[in-house]
Chains A and B, each alone.
Chain A
């Protein structure tokens, strides 16, 4: 009985971790759906968003090092702090600006190129953004606090304690992440299924010429998609940054999104969620049951092995579009 209770606690925690993975995977799916491009820069986008958010919040002067190196002036801080909500809003605007720049400086010049070329461009973009983030906001490790509650949720503990005689340990941040992710996903699905901009986005993903011929502006759609991906990156950056601090390694969460995408399919928003949940629960349960037998630390590789198995038996993922070839 105790074993079962432990296991269910593991499952619940796994689900919450899964939500965090799904948050990252979502950004990939959005851009892949709209342009058929695997956006290597998505993880760095989350890092950049988190850095910008902290910078704005704390009233940091952007490019402070550069300014002092060039002019000799030492401007570290404007001397004010910005309330979290306003700072998030401003960061979202910065991400929209970034999307406009990416479209104008990179994508516009690559219209009609093979997806692999665009993929290479996103690799370049990733390194550029990483450097830009350092240059703008400094390379030190920072902590992010936008007022999201953290730590043991006592409500859940006392509730489960009185129900099962065993208190579940659940981080309040994880609960919030779940709620926020649910709202985000619901609005993204509603947007892409029911609005004209969302439908235009799907059209652009499918065929550029056809999209133009029905009056859709490719450039507008691209800016829009990258803005949304930037916003999703911001949400992921807030969640992961609050959890484990903002530093370069934040951009590596992108690697955790890969197996999620292979499981869920690159083109499906629900797929990203379900894939994230399966991997979150799977790796926690595997670690709980099998981990002790093989010396632990299975969480590092379990997701990738699961993804490999999927690649063999269902390459399009759980929810991906069937690959139809007419010969």
Chain B
């Protein structure tokens, strides 16, 4: 079984994973990305791709450039060199809100939610850009507005049920504990029905139980909605169980790329994580 998975993962042909999920062609392709802040090179000539339907992890020790990579993918940072290809087309340089409208939803390492709004309203913002009825129709609750609002509401309620946050629907987000905030952020990203869901350290700062919950949700999202997921984590253990393929970064370079098993046995990766004496 091993050689087969290995071969499928590197080729571009669609394949079926051992647990029966379908992995399609390349969804996002990052080519020779280099990102500098003044004299500091945060990302050094990194290339990798993300395929439709897979869970792709980017791991690495602190300061490896993982979050910078995600910011490049979501348009928050503009790389000095390299190209971002999305769904077979080169993505021109564009503002983050436009990238979001292409179907890329994300969460943040430090949680970016609308603290003054309820959980429900927060999640509804994920669908704001999909609203089609006109300003007047919405203001007067007339014409297409009502039917459309109900449709969006239905979708959002599905996500709320899915992530098991029914009991906090009306709670202002500012009052929630950390773990639940993370879950609400995931819900908002899901509400946008993204083609690519990017999670920046979805499990950072969580206790074991919360981590298990979050892992389950990530797997379920991928399984039930077929959503392609890119996630950043520095906890290697969690990632290995979750992802189909893993990119390993260290000091802005890519030092490994492949299935969890391949990466686990990569000497450079082991060195980066355990530290190695340079003599």
Asked if A213 contacts B116 (CB within 8 A), the reply is: no
A214–B128 Cα distance when bound, in Å, is 8
Asked if A161 CB lies within 8 Å of chain B CBs, one says no
Number of A-B contacts (CB under 8 A): 92
Tally A residues with Cβ within 8 Å of B: 27
Q: Which of A191, A194, A207, A326 contacts B114 (CB 8 A)?
A: A207
Asked if B128 contacts A195 (CB within 8 A), the reply is: no
Asked if A49 CB lies within 8 Å of chain B CBs, one says no
Q: Which of B124-138 contact A (CB under 8 A)?
A: 124-126, 128-129, 131, 135, 138
Q: Given A194-B138, A213-B100, A217-B97, are A199 and B125 neighbors across the interface (CB < 8 Å)?
A: yes
Q: Which of A305-327 contact B (CB under 8 A)?
A: 321, 324, 326
Q: Which of A275-327 contact B (CB under 8 A)?
A: 321, 324, 326
- 20 further A-B pairs in the complex, CB-CB below 8 A; given A209-B112, A326-B174: A191-B139, A194-B145, A199-B121, A199-B128, A200-B125, A207-B112, A207-B115, A209-B108, A210-B112, A210-B188, A212-B95, A213-B74, A213-B100, A213-B112, A214-B125, A215-B98, A215-B100, A215-B101, A218-B97, A321-B116
Taken residue by residue from 185 to 218, chain A's Cβ proximity to chain B (1 for < 8 Å, 0 otherwise) reads as: 0010011001111011011011101111111111
Chain A contacts of B124 at CB under 8 A? 199
A97–B65 Cα distance when bound, in Å, is 42
Chain A contacts of B101 at CB under 8 A? 215
Secondary structure dominating the interface of A: helix
Chain A contacts of B126 at CB under 8 A? 214
Chain B contacts of A199 at CB under 8 A? 121, 124-125, 128
Q: Give me the 10 closest cross-chain CB pairs, A-B, nearest first.
A: A210-B112, A215-B100, A206-B114, A215-B129, A195-B138, A196-B131, A209-B112, A190-B139, A212-B96, A215-B101
Chain B contacts of A321 at CB under 8 A? 116
Asked if B140 CB lies within 8 Å of chain A CBs, one says yes
Chain A contacts of B112 at CB under 8 A? 207, 209-210, 213
Chain A contacts of B128 at CB under 8 A? 196, 199-200, 203, 214-216
A199–B100 Cα distance when bound, in Å, is 17
21 contacts between A and B (CB under 8 A): A187-B139, A190-B139, A191-B139, A194-B145, A196-B131, A197-B135, A199-B124, A199-B125, A200-B128, A203-B114, A207-B112, A207-B114, A210-B108, A211-B125, A212-B95, A212-B100, A213-B106, A215-B97, A215-B129, A216-B129, A217-B98
Interface residues of B (CB under 8 A from A): 74, 76, 95-98, 100-101, 105-108, 112-117, 121, 124-126, 128-129, 131, 135, 138-141, 145, 172, 174-175, 188-189, 192
Asked if A206 contacts B116 (CB within 8 A), the reply is: yes
Q: Which of A190, A207, A214, A326 contacts B175 (CB 8 A)?
A: A326
Asked if A213 contacts B131 (CB within 8 A), the reply is: no
Chain B contacts of A187 at CB under 8 A? 139
- Chain B nearest CB, measured from A134 CB (Å): 36
A195–B117 Cα distance when bound, in Å, is 16
Asked if B139 contacts A202 (CB within 8 A), the reply is: no
A212–B135 Cα distance when bound, in Å, is 21
Asked if A217 contacts B115 (CB within 8 A), the reply is: no
Asked if B141 contacts A215 (CB within 8 A), the reply is: no
Chain A contacts of B189 at CB under 8 A? 213
- Chain A nearest CB, measured from B78 CB (Å): 14
Chain A contacts of B172 at CB under 8 A? 324
Chain A contacts of B175 at CB under 8 A? 324, 326
Chain A contacts of B106 at CB under 8 A? 213
Q: Which of B98, B138, B174, B192 contacts A214 (CB 8 A)?
A: B192
A98–B141 Cα distance when bound, in Å, is 31
Q: Given A206-B114, A206-B116, are A213 and B108 neighbors across the interface (CB < 8 Å)?
A: yes
- Chain A nearest CB, measured from B61 CB (Å): 25
Q: Given A190-B140, A217-B97, A321-B116, are A195 and B192 neighbors across the interface (CB < 8 Å)?
A: no
Q: Given A190-B140, A191-B139, A195-B139, are A214 and B188 neighbors across the interface (CB < 8 Å)?
A: yes
Chain A contacts of B100 at CB under 8 A? 212-215
Which residue of B is nearest A210, CB measured? B112
Of residues B97, B98, B115, B174, which shows the largest number of chain A Cβ atoms within 10 Å of its Cβ?
Answer: B97
Chain A contacts of B135 at CB under 8 A? 191, 195, 197
Which residue of A is nearest B116, CB measured? A206
- Chain B nearest CB, measured from A224 CB (Å): 11
Which residue of A is nearest B141, CB measured? A194
- Chain A nearest CB, measured from B8 CB (Å): 32
Asked if A210 contacts B97 (CB within 8 A), the reply is: no
- Chain A nearest CB, measured from B131 CB (Å): 4
Asked if A212 contacts B76 (CB within 8 A), the reply is: yes
Asked if A324 contacts B97 (CB within 8 A), the reply is: no
Chain A contacts of B96 at CB under 8 A? 212-213
Q: Which of A3-26 contact B (CB under 8 A)?
A: none
Chain A contacts of B138 at CB under 8 A? 194-196
- Chain A nearest CB, measured from B37 CB (Å): 16
